[in-house]
A and B are shown apart, each in its own frame.
Chain A
Amino acid sequence: MTQIISDSGFELPKEAINYSAWSNIIAGNVAIDIPSDADLDLLSGDLNRFKIIRINFPTFADGRGFTIAKLIRIRGYKGHIRATGYIIPDQYAMARRSGFDDVEISQSLAKRQTESEWLFRANWREHDYQKRLGFNKD
Chain B
Amino acid sequence: MSNNHTGKVITANDLLNGDVVYINSQLKWALRLSDAKVFIDDASFEKALTHVNKQQNEVVGIYSININLSDTGIAPNHFREKFRNNGPSNYNHGKQSEVL
Report if A and B touch in the complex (beta carbons < 8 A).
Answer: no
Which residues of A approach B to under 8 Å, CB–CB? none
Which residues of B approach A to under 8 Å, CB–CB? none
